[in-house]
Amino acid sequence: MTRAGPGTGSIRGRLMVLLLGGSAILALALFWVVQGFARQLAEESQDNILSASVTSILDAARIENGALVLDLPYSAFSMLANLHDDAVYYAIRADDTFLTGYDDLAAVPLPRADMPGFATRSFLDQDVRVVTAERALGPGGGQDSAPIRLSATLAQTRSGQEITLTRISRAAAAVGLGVFAGAAVLALAASRSAIAPLERLTLSVTRRGPQDLRPVTAPVPLEMVPLVAALNRFIGRLRGSLARSEDFIAEAAHRVRTPLATVRMQAEVTLQRVEREENRKSVREMIRAIDESSRAAGQLLDHAMVTFRADQLEETDLDLGAVTRDLTDRLRPTADLRDIALQARADDPVPIRGDAILVQNALRNVLDNAIKYAPEGSAVRITVTRQGEEGVVMLRDTGPGFPPDGMTRLRRRFQRGANVDGIVGSGLGLTIADEVMRAHGGTLDLRNNPDGGGACVSLRFPMA
């Protein structure tokens, strides 16, 4: 299993951080803006009421018989009564001389003679909003005296405003949180949707069989097209180089096998002629080695063929029983040489779809193995049955069986059991069978007979 390079953080994580961070900043900004706006509005509305009140106080002042009359309108103060009962203070001065109210409530300097001045101050240990307005009234006293500058200062505590602001702040916080929560959900959805094609591609590449080197054709988003194109080019190169090496092996095997046949024939002839026992022995050794090489070359060829055809199966309707019977009949002469009985039994037709040449090849390799490893004079039992949705060919011999740790290892190329010394073999037989089974969507089961020794090999094909 190849490992990927070191991870450099996840795209989804980065997206989430960016989107969530962005929406958090937006939510905070929203909170501040709403709160600031609300504060401004609340202050403005208090200022407006204070301003109206102080104006009504000034309007009610008049000169009567040369004397200043101050007649505080009831509404001037009652209009300041709000839900939270704020306290009210006032001071009225004429030409900076205190007349009535709270002497220590200082006037606010006016920005302009005809505009009220506002200030926020502390009065009697409370926060108060203060307004001062002025009005010229006159003339007072005699005919020639200057008009009176009447100044009214009004202050109101801000507890009602604070309560309103707290309420608005809470609402603003709730809105901000709501926006953030909504954005979080959207961010999750957005990052998921952005990542989805990548995951689909990963899944489709991961799910492929080990031999599947077809180019990726599933539609992908525009941004991923270059990546997939690069991937496909890479797969193409890999396929090319694999095909070349398989070709090379097949070619090599072929080239080796033909001369080997000639060499073996010559060796047989030589064996007939040689008299001395020690010479005959070494010739027999020679024939054995030639057999081994020839068999290995044959299997290499088989393997190359299986690899080639597995990519593009030529599937036809097959009866698994008939295929098995044919093969058993063909291998019976070989079995007879070792005095091994092949007992084949097939159920009613077991139809499958498959590449006839590959299926025969797989069966031949496992049957070959069984004949090879079974003790002389024993029997190999072959049964073809239906098991649910599978057609199963099961071969049982009474040989040494599989080494307990080698069930997986044996399927690999050139791997042989630890208990098979002295028997000719290339280590490709089970590999071939396994590849064929995979190409057909079936499985190759390797196990030992539960009752007494011997191997039990099952080829499980999906039923047609």
Partner 1 sequence: MRIPALSDGLIRALTLALTLACIIAAHPVQALDVEDRRRFGPDSAAQVLRILSTADTDVFAPVIRAFLIQEPDIAVDYIVASSGAVMAAMTKRPQDFDVVISSAMDLQTKLANDGFALSHRSATTETIPDWARWRDHLFAFTREPATLVLSRDAFRGLPLPRSRQDLIALLRQHPDRFHGRVGTYDLRASGLGYLFATQDARMSESYWRLTEIMGSLDAQLYCCSSAMIDAVARGDLAVAYNVLGSYARARPDADRYEIIQPQDFTTVMLRTALISRGTQAPQAAGRFLDHMLDIAWLGKTTEGYEFDRLSQTGPASGAHLRYIRLGPGLLVHLDRFKKDSFLRAWESAILQD
- x/- contact string, 156-175, with partner 1 (CB under 8 A)? ---x----------------
Q: Contact at 8 Å (CB) between 316 and 323?
A: no
Q: Does 81 engage in binding with partner 1 (CB under 8 A)?
A: yes
Contact segment (CB under 8 A) with partner 1 among 79-87, 132-140, 354-362, 370-378 equals 79-87
Indicate whether 95 belongs to the interface with partner 1 (CB under 8 A): no
Three-state secondary-structure class, residue 268: helix
Q: Are 398 and 339 in contact (CB under 8 A)?
A: no
State how far the alpha carbon of 81 is from the alpha carbons of 50, 76, 84, 113, 429, in Å. Answer: 11, 10, 8, 28, 101
Site for partner 1 in 403-432 (CB under 8 A): none
Place of tokens 């055809």: 309
Provide the sign of the torsion angle of the four alpha carbons 117, 118, 122, 123, taken in this order: positive
Say how many Å lie between the first and final Cα of the chain, rounded: 34
Read off the tokens for 433.
């069978």
Residue 71 interacts with partner 1 (CB under 8 A): yes or no? yes
**99 is a site residue for partner 1 (CB under 8 A):** yes
Q: Taking every pair of C-alpha atoms in the chain, what is the biggest distance, in angstroms?
A: 169
> For residue 447, what is the enclosing H or E element?
strand 443-448
CB contact at 8 A, 63 and 140? yes
Our CB check for partner 1 shows the closer of 84 and 208 to be: 84
* Binding segment (CB under 8 A) for partner 1, from list 84-92, 276-284, 411-419, 454-462: 84-92
In the bound complex, what is the minimum distance in angstroms from residue 77's beta carbon to partner 1?
4
Among 80, 350, 392, 456, binds partner 1 (CB under 8 A): 80
Task: Considering the complex, state which of residue 54 and residue 301 has its C-beta at the smaller distance from partner 1.
Answer: 54
Helix (H/G/I), strand (E/B), else coil: 376: coil
260 touching partner 1, by CB under 8 A: no
Tell whether residue 251 is a contact of partner 1 (CB under 8 A): no
Contacts of 185 (CB under 8 A, 6+ apart): none
Binding-site residue total for partner 1 (CB under 8 A)?
27
CB of 145 to partner 1, least distance (A): 20
Angle between helices 429-439 and 356-373 (to 10 degrees): 150
Tell me which stretch binds partner 1 (CB under 8 A): 14-22, 121-129, 145-153, 239-247: 121-129
Asked if residue 327 binds partner 1 (CB under 8 A), the reply is no
Tell me the residue ranges of DSSP E strands in 253-335. 316-319
Least separation in angstroms between CB 52 and partner 1: 14
- From 52, 70, 289, 394, residue interacting with partner 1 (rule: CB under 8 A): 70
Which residue from 78, 145, 241, 419 is in contact with partner 1, where contact means CB under 8 A? Answer: 78
Told to check if 354 binds partner 1 by CB under 8 A, we report no
**Closest distance to partner 1 from the beta carbon of 71 (Å):** 6
**Binding segment toward partner 1, per CB under 8 A, in 63-71, 219-227, 307-315, 393-401:** 63-71
CA 63 to chain centre: 86
Give CA–CA dist 87/62, Å, rounded. Answer: 27
Identify the CA nearest to 184 among candidates 14, 9, 11, 21: 21
Binding segment toward partner 1, per CB under 8 A, in 96-104, 229-237, 332-340, 389-397? 96-104
Footprint of partner 1 (CB under 8 A): 69-74, 76-78, 80-81, 83-89, 92, 99-102, 124-126, 159
